[in-house]
């Protein structure tokens, strides 16, 4: 294992590596002299996200599906650390198609953790989700207190946590779960029908179209910039603290903002590039099924056990993200 929270000189498998989070993680790992295997079926990931890595001799791309156990076993050959990012995201998508969400997020997860167990990987780090908190009204969200899930997606991500815990206790695996809170940043897809709020709104505003806020806009979120998530994955992969074993941690900044406030901030930042954006009106629609009202993470457990110290609040992250999107979408 590594020290000081920097993952280097290791052989790492990143599932879902062509996706938003996975490709950002891979970019960092390759800079740190890791040998990186990317497994992706490109159902939601994009080839353009991994194209820059293809010339790197330390990078290997396996095009395949985590729903196939044989593919998972192949991907795990010789691997020391698995960073399992592959999943079918989006609460609305899971409501529209719970069967596929279940097959990927639970069946695929089980395939990956079995393959990792049999390959004797040193650590299995996986993307969990703040959706696990469900209908819990308590703020901030503390890892040990969750509510009832509000969507099929939330159920799948909670089941993954249960499987990881069982594989730790039954088979002696070392697992760490990271409950992501509303991650955003460069390479987050604005084109998808299930695009996250920031890329979707940025794209609309750049095109002088009205973004739609579902509900009254006073719902709040703990938005987390991608670089904080990269840090958390490295720390989870390298920690030697026994308290981290088979545990789950919130990954957030620990600060909550309303969608109304952040949309106003988006408009202000983008207007620096194009003054006409200041005149675009914001529209409101009905609340979406399965959405939680407010989200705010306690990150004390991750700070204490992993040494997590997020460097970017939502305002700093937005400035970085907007600069990237403005070039990307022009």
Q: Give the active site residues.
A: 153
Q: Check if the beta carbon of residue 303 is closer than 8 Å to that of residue 142.
A: no
**Beta-bridge partner residues of 123:** 81
**Beta-bridge partner residues of 124:** 82, 175
How far apart CA 237 and CA 180 sit, in angstroms, is 16
**Beta-bridge partner residues of 84:** 15, 126
- The 10 Å Cβ neighbour count of residue 90 is 20
Q: Which residue has the tokens 């010789």?
A: 78
H or E segment to which residue 213 belongs:
strand 212-214
How far apart CA 276 and CA 321 sit, in angstroms, is 20
Q: Which residue has the tokens 């005149």?
A: 279
- The 10 Å Cβ neighbour count of residue 16 is 28
Strands 257-258 and 220-221: antiparallel
**Beta-bridge partner residues of 214:** 285
Q: What angle do CA 173, 179, 183 make, to 5 degrees?
A: 130
How far apart CA 145 and CA 250 sit, in angstroms, is 12
How far apart CA 107 and CA 101 sit, in angstroms, is 9
**Beta-bridge partner residues of 61:** 38
């Amino acid at each position: 294992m590594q020290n000081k929270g920097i993952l280097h000189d290791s052989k790492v498998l990143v599932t879902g590596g062509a996706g938003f989070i996975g490709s950002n993680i891979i970019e960092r790992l390759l800079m740190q002299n890791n040998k990186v295997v990317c497994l992706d079926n490109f159902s939601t990931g994009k080839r353009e996200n991994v194209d820059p890595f293809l010339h790197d001799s330390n990078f290997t791309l396996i095009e395949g599906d985590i729903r196939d156990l044989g593919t998972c076993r192949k991907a795990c050959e010789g691997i020391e650390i698995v960073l399992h990012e592959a999943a079918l995201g989006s609460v609305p998508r899971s409501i529209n198609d719970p069967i596929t969400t279940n097959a990927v997020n639970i069946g695929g997860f089980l395939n990956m953790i079995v393959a990792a167990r049999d390959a004797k990987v040193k650590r299995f780090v996986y993307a969990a989700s703040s959706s696990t908190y469900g209908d819990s009204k308590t703020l901030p969200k503390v890892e040990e207190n969750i509510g009832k899930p509000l969507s099929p997606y939330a159920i799948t991500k909670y089941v993954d946590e249960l499987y990881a815990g069982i594989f730790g206790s039954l088979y002696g695996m070392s697992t760490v779960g990271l409950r992501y809170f509303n991650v955003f940043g460069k390479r987050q897809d604005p084109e998808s029908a299930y695009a996250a709020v920031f890329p979707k709104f940025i794209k609309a505003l750049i095109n002088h179209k009205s973004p739609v806020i579902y509900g009254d806009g006073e719902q709040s979120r703990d938005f987390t910039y991608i670089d904080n998530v990269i840090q958390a994955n490295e720390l989870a992969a390298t920690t030697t603290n026994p308290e981290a074993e088979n545990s789950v941690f919130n990954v957030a900044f620990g600060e909550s903002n309303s969608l109304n406030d952040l949309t106003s901030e988006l408009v202000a930042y983008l207007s620096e590039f194009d003054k006409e954006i200041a005149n675009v009106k914001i529209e409101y629609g009905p609340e979406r099924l399965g959405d939680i009202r407010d989200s705010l993470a306690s990150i004390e457990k991750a700070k204490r056990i992993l040494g997590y110290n997020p460097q970017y609040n939502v305002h700093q992250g937005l400035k970085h993200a907007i600069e990237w999107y403005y070039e990307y979408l022009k």
